[in-house]
Structure formats: C-alpha cells, structure tokens
Structure 1
C-alpha cells in the first residue's frame, strides 16, 4: 500500500493487473530534476497535436466565406441560440418571456454594481418611516369614501349631450393623479431625475452650448441631448428650430447619487438659502428646483476643474425629480425624509 501511495492519482485508479504490466508507470520524473532533450522537444513539435501546414494550392482553396455564400440552406439552430419573444402575449400564452434578471431577456441590464448611500438609507429607514407616518387606521366594516367628481357633466341643453363622456375640468387640459393612501405596495420612491439647461447666449456663440453640455456631462455622467427652440421671439432674437439648450435624464442609482451630492454637498454651501419652495410641484408627485451659475460651481465635479469652465459662460440648470408618489404632499414627504429642505407656504 505504501508503494501505491507514491503513484499519481490516474495510475492509482488502474487495476493492479494493468499496473503490473506497465513497469514504467512506477518511475516518475520530476520536471525540476531533469530537462527534456532537443530530440524529445522535436518529437513534440512533430506530433499530431497541431494541424499540418497547408501548401500553396490548399491555401488558395481554403475560403470559408465562399462556402457560406454558396450554402443554399442555413445551418441548423444550435441548442443554446435561444431568443426570447419580442412581444408579451399574455400570461396564458405557451411562450413566455424570461424575467428581466435573466441574461437572455431583451430588457436585461447588468448590475447593479454599487449601492448608493442614499438608496441604502431609503431601503433601510426612509421607506418604513414613510409608511408608518402616513398610516391611517380604518376600523373593519367602515364604508369606503365616495370619490369626488372631477369631471364636468353636460347641462343637457342639447339632445347631443346624451351619452357623451364627461368633460375635463375647466382650465386644466391634463387631469392630475388622484392621491392614493400609502401602503407596503406603493411606497413613494425616486424614478428618474431630469436636468435641463437653457442657454440663449448660444444663439450668438456656440461655445456657450459646449460649456453647458460639458457641465451636465460632468455632474451626471451621461451624454446630454441638445434641445431646440419651439417658438419665435422677436424681442430676444430667437427663431424656432435653433439649438439653445441641453438636457439629460438619469435613472436608478445614478439618480440617487446625484440627489445625494445635492443634499450633502451643494445645498449646505449655498449662502443665504432658505430651501426649496414648498409650492413647487405639478400635482402628480413631481418636484423641481433650479441652480444658478454660482451654485453650479459648488458641485465637486466642476469645482475640481474650475479653470476649465470660463467664469461668464457657465449656465444654471433646472432639476426635475420624478417620483412614484401620487401627490405633491407625498413627494415632499419623501424628499424631506432624505434631507431636502423646504420653505414657504405649502400648496396641496
């Protein structure tokens, strides 16, 4: 048994009858003890482990692309060449799309590769606190409140008013969202952040547009899109269709990182700043605020390269925060829990 332990593992797996027939297996030569000779290396080079060299005629005939062109029928699909369906045809269809976490899915996005501090705070603390603060106990058996009528009815002065759909409210072509109570299924969160900068000076000098685009690229990490004017303003010498602004939108962890820099770096350094106006919002849970050119220099990405941006060419910007909240009140509560200050009269 002691002699068998000295053998290699493949040899130990052979039966004893085969080991006795192969006496050379017991002698193991270490690579460090002796080196192969030139003849042994030549035998390895001439072995059948590599393909034989091609002569000139064979090289001319070796044209794989010609075989592909002349092939009348395509090669059979491989076992692993699976393509998910382009459209979702319902939960009862026999062919279902894989989940987004599957690498073969069409909407698969690798990552996340990091967890921002603000998002981690939201998941561990803010989400549960918002659900607790907005909880309203309803005893069992309490009848549901009737929803208020937001659409206008027809007065019936014409026979054509019968069976017509209700009209939108006067002065508001877009109907705002109806506020829903917060529970564990619809806790407000940040969906995306859009940053836009209007540069009217770019109509006379395109370098202003280049500075604005470089600024948004530095603070967001995404390539901004150039916007054009939509109307003619003769007093400001603006014609429709001219390039006069940039905008970009960030999602996911990038949005949380940008908001984290605003809360912990930019906002505390603004002098004589009371906070964001509490009246901001579009009645659907989306809030906005603005930064002046002086405030833009407080971002660390711009401050570290302040000499790159000309002092009189750096523009301001407008920040739009889109949340999953159904009212401005819920959106303010979310941003207040994250550290965004508000001041002034609240408009619900």
Structure 2
C-alpha cells in the first residue's frame, strides 16, 4: 500500500527543498513526523455522553481509535475531578498520516466557509504547525444528520524541521493553503 502524498514527497518535495534550502545531505531535509488531532471537551464534565460521540467521530476522521485524555488533577472552579475524561486525541504516523494530510489539504479545508487560507503565524518556533478547526463537519466522513453538537479540534503537524522557515517551506511545497 502506498500513499499518494508520500510519493509526492519523495519525487517532488525533496528535490524542491534541496534546491531552495541548499542542504547537501538528503537526511537534513525536513519531513512530516506525525499529525496529532486533539479534541478538548470541557462540557464533558456535565455530559459524559459527549465523549463517546467524539471518540466515534474522531475514529471516522482519522481511521484509528482515539485515546481518552483524563484530568491530571481536580479543579473545583471548573467542576473537574482527577481522572475525569475531558477529551480525546489520536496520533497518526506513516501511511495514515499522509492519507489524512492529503484529505485535509484537498477536501476538508476547502469546505470551510469563506476559506481564504491558513495563517503563517501558527508555527511553534521549531517548525511544527498547529491548526484550529472550528467544526468537525468539514470532514467528509462526518454526516451532518448524525451530529448532535458541533465540536472543534486542533490539528498539530509535527515536522523534523529545525526552525519555522524550514517548516514553512516544507508545508508550502506540499501545497498547504497559506494566506498570502
């Protein structure tokens, strides 16, 4: 099984980055390491049914079973108890990562209402990019009729880039839709 975007990386992105950055060794070129999709569910403190729905939706979107995030300590102001389920996340690598990245760029992001591109400012200083999605309905796998509550999520693209410029060049060479 091959991934379309993995082949694209090897055949087009690597030569383009060698030309742009001037790296001599092919192993210096930044690449995608993993993609983490996180759904923080603060309202799960009052309604535990939301966690189950979110896990099912995140499993459909990512293609693998999510891990449940639990509270580390109790916070009375938020009505939060230790070990209470407050979210879910999934870490994608290799083929599933490239397949999700392909669907995110070519199918999901263009479905966002009034989409003009994503900000260049969401890099963390080490070449990793985090993107906030306001509703899960942009993913084609989610049926509008079955959704009871619209939930957002964070998509973090972790790269091997050493700085933001290299991370930006990597994502730009994948045709990531940055704002001009």
TM, length-normalised to structure 1? 0.49
Question: Are positions 1:131 and 2:18 aligned together?
Answer: yes
Number of residue pairs the alignment of both structures matches:
180
Q: Which structure has the larger Rg?
A: 1
CA distance in 1, matches of 2:60, 2:16: 34
**Structure 2: 5+ residue stretches without partners:** none
Match of 1:248 in 2: 90
CA deviations 1:28-53 (Å, max 9, x no partner) are xxxxxxxxxxxxxxxxxxxxxxxxxx
Tell me the SS of whatever aligns to 1:279. Answer: coil
Q: Aligned pair in 2 of structure 1 residues 182, 198: CA closer, same or farther (>3 Å)? A: farther
Match of 1:211 in 2: 53
* Structure 1 position 231, deviation (Å): 4.3
Tell me the SS of whatever aligns to 1:336. Answer: helix
Match of 1:21 in 2: none
Question: Are positions 1:287 and 2:174 aligned together?
Answer: no
* Structure 1 position 284, deviation (Å): 1.7
CA distance in 1, matches of 2:101, 2:78: 34
**Structure 1: 5+ residue stretches without partners:** 1-113, 136-180
Q: Which has the higher strand share?
A: 2
TM, length-normalised to structure 2? 0.91
Q: Aligned pair in 2 of structure 1 residues 247, 134: CA closer, same or farther (>3 Å)? A: same
Match of 1:39 in 2: none
Which structure carries more relative contact order (alpha carbon 8 Å, separation 6+)?
A: 2
Runs of 4+ in 1 over 3 A off after TM superposition: 231-235
* Structure 1 position 267, deviation (Å): 1.3
* Structure 1 position 308, deviation (Å): 2.6
Match of 2:161 in 1: 325
CA deviations 1:298-325 (Å, max 9, x no partner) are 21111xx333322x2x421111111111
CA distance in 2, matches of 1:255, 1:222: 11
Tell me the SS of whatever aligns to 1:307. Answer: helix
Match of 2:146 in 1: 308
Tell me the SS of whatever aligns to 1:120. Answer: helix
* Structure 1 position 253, deviation (Å): 1.0
Q: Aligned pair in 2 of structure 1 residues 290, 182: CA closer, same or farther (>3 Å)? A: farther
* Structure 1 position 269, deviation (Å): 1.8
Q: Aligned pair in 2 of structure 1 residues 269, 235: CA closer, same or farther (>3 Å)? A: same
Q: Which has the higher helix share?
A: 2
Kept in 2: contact 1:134–1:182 (CA 8 A): no
1:1-348 paired onto structure 2 within 5 Å: 114-135=1-22, 183-293=25-135, 296-302=136-142, 305-310=143-148, 312=149, 314-343=150-179
